[in-house]
């Protein structure tokens, strides 16, 4: 049986001022009627219904998360007392799944990616589940065909060809590579054997716990203490005690880079990790001047800009190019599009600048 685990953390900086500390990206309606979290849960529902879907989120986002997912049993929204990167998060989820079903297969997904169409995504998940059913010790990753020499993602090098599942190419993983520099990224793109690591994994819950025990024994020991308390009156207390001491390490580094039995399926759906406001240009059709606008906007002699009015007020622009202008929750951002990488640092400086109320 398949269980869905949605990793829904985030600090709410890259879509500021619409995203906030207690309202990160996945809780936003960036396009369409549903939030990214709601879209993520709905997308997997045909294979993992609500009672087999778990959300791991931060303590200060748990209430908002439950409110957006009223179809889930409230206990399926699990709050981490503090962020401990993905190895701890995956381990906690695997404990919960293994307790419900010792032979359970789980898919781990970020909550904030745009994936279309859902049918192609579900076919890829189905293929992964079949790979695991044939070899319960395997780990399956989803590799995205790169379209640019991106330095912001990790890469997966495809190894031995294992044929295909439902027409989706399957390979052994030769190696994982962390975020490369520009020259390396260009080499990866030219070589054709490298895929972007999209952060979606499929495996048996017990298999990833065994791998954690082998490669991260201290982290695993802490997880085991949590596992024994799950479902007891001491659960919250034990999680609160153990979590802060757990190692902060990504699951890629903790396990995947060391495991030998890793497979990669070639993703055949459209994928967008919605990194920051610039991603909106791929989600919302542009106007005749190449502007991406939402809400009450009057763009005069304006080109190549992203303009979002989320508070109902009019934003009028005159003679500007290549700006990102967002008004939300009583705060307004005006940034050059090519300077948006610095938004995280601006937001992290808000408190010090005396504007902590807008965090």
Q: Is 338 a binder of a second copy (CB under 8 A)?
A: yes
Q: Figure out which of the listed residues 217, 248, 349, 351 binds a second copy, where binding follows CB under 8 A.
A: 349
To the nearest whole angstrom, how small is the minimum distance from the Cβ of residue 356 to a second copy?
Answer: 10
**Closest by CA position to 164, among listed 298, 278, 268:** 268
Quote the CA–CA distance of 150 and 254 in Å, as a whole number: 23
Task: Name the segment binding a second copy (CB under 8 A); options: 54-62, 103-111, 277-285, 333-341.
Answer: 333-341
Strand partners, 169: 164
CA 313 to chain centre: 31
Q: Is 342 a binder of a second copy (CB under 8 A)?
A: yes
Task: Name the segment binding a second copy (CB under 8 A); options: 56-64, 183-191, 269-277, 317-325.
Answer: 317-325
Q: Is 17 a binder of a second copy (CB under 8 A)?
A: yes
Measured from the CB atom, is 16 or 203 closer to a second copy? Answer: 16
**Closest by CA position to 323, among listed 298, 340, 310, 311:** 340
Quote the CA–CA distance of 282 and 168 in Å, as a whole number: 25
Quote the CA–CA distance of 207 and 214 in Å, as a whole number: 11
To the nearest whole angstrom, how small is the minimum distance from the Cβ of residue 153 to a second copy?
Answer: 24
CA 142 to chain centre: 13
Quote the CA–CA distance of 306 and 293 in Å, as a whole number: 6
DSSP string covering 183-206: HHHHHHHHHS-EEEEEEEEEEEHH
Measured from the CB atom, is 182 or 355 closer to a second copy? Answer: 355
Measured from the CB atom, is 255 or 333 closer to a second copy? Answer: 333
Measured from the CB atom, is 13 or 40 closer to a second copy? Answer: 13
Q: Is 161 a binder of a second copy (CB under 8 A)?
A: no
ω into residue 17 within 30 of 0, thus cis?
Answer: yes
Which residues 176-235 are close enough to bind a second copy by CB under 8 A?
A: none
Measured from the CB atom, is 42 or 300 closer to a second copy? Answer: 300
Q: Is 280 a binder of a second copy (CB under 8 A)?
A: no
Measured from the CB atom, is 131 or 306 closer to a second copy? Answer: 306
Q: Is 320 a binder of a second copy (CB under 8 A)?
A: yes
Q: Is 133 a binder of a second copy (CB under 8 A)?
A: no
Coil, helix or strand at residue 39: helix
Measured from the CB atom, is 16 or 139 closer to a second copy? Answer: 16
Which residues 287-316 are close enough to bind a second copy by CB under 8 A?
A: 296, 298, 300-301, 309, 312-316
Quote the CA–CA distance of 348 and 356 in Å, as a whole number: 9
To the nearest whole angstrom, how small is the minimum distance from the Cβ of residue 161 to a second copy?
Answer: 46
Q: Is 332 a binder of a second copy (CB under 8 A)?
A: yes
To the nearest whole angstrom, how small is the minimum distance from the Cβ of residue 148 to a second copy?
Answer: 22
Judge whether 343 and 333 are in contact, CB under 8 Å.
yes
Alpha-carbon distances of 128 from 29, 123, 170, 184, 196, rounded to whole Å: 29, 9, 9, 29, 17
Measured from the CB atom, is 175 or 339 closer to a second copy? Answer: 339
Q: Is 348 a binder of a second copy (CB under 8 A)?
A: no
Q: Is 330 a binder of a second copy (CB under 8 A)?
A: yes
DSSP string covering 145-189: PPSS--SSS-EEEEEEEEEEETTEEEEEEEEEE-S--HHHHHHHH
Quote the CA–CA distance of 35 and 277 in Å, as a whole number: 15
Binding-site ranges for a second copy (CB under 8 A): 17, 296, 298, 300-301, 309, 312-320, 323, 325, 327, 330-336, 338-340, 342-343, 346, 349-350, 353, 355, 358
């Amino acid at each position: 049986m398949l269980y869905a685990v949605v990793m829904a953390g985030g600090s709410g900086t890259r879509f500021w001022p619409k995203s906030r500390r207690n309202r990160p990206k996945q809780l936003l309606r960036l396009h369409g009627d549903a939030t990214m979290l709601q879209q993520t849960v709905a997308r997997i529902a045909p294979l993992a219904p609500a009672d087999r879907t778990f959300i791991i989120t931060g303590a200060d986002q748990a209430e908002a998360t439950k409110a957006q997912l009223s179809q889930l049993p409230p206990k399926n929204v699990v709050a981490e007392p503090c962020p401990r990167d993905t190895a701890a998060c995956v381990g906690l989820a695997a404990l919960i799944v293994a307790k419900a079903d010792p032979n359970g297969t789980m898919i781990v997904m970020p909550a904030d990616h745009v994936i279309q169409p859902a049918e192609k995504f579900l076919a890829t998940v189905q293929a992964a589940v079949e790979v695991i059913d044939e070899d319960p010790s395997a780990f399956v990753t989803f590799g995205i065909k790169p379209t640019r020499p991106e330095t912001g993602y990790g890469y997966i090098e495809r190894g031995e060809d294992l044929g295909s599942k439902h027409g989706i190419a399957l390979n052994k993983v030769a190696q994982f590579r962390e975020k490369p520099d520009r020259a390396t990224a260009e080499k990866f793109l030219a070589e054709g054997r490298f895929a972007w690591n999209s952060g979606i994994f499929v495996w048996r819950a017990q298999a990833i716990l065994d791998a954690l025990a082998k490669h991260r024994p201290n982290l695993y020991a802490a997880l085991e203490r949590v596992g024994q308390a799950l479902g007891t009156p001491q659960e919250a207390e034990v999680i609160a005690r153990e979590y802060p001491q757990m190692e902060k390490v990504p699951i890629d580094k903790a396990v995947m880079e060391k495991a030998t039995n890793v497979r990669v399926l070639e993703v055949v759906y459209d994928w967008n990790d919605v990194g920051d406001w610039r991603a909106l240009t791929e989600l919302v059709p542009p106007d005749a001047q190449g502007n991406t606008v939402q809400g009450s906007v009057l763009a005069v002699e304006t080109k190549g800009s992203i303009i979002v009015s989320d508070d109902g007020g009019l934003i009028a622009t005159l003679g500007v190019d290549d700006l990102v202008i967002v008004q939300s929750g009583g705060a307004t951002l005006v940034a050059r599009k090519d300077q948006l990488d610095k938004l995280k640092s601006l937001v992290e400086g808000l408190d010090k600048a005396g504007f902590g109320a807008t965090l």
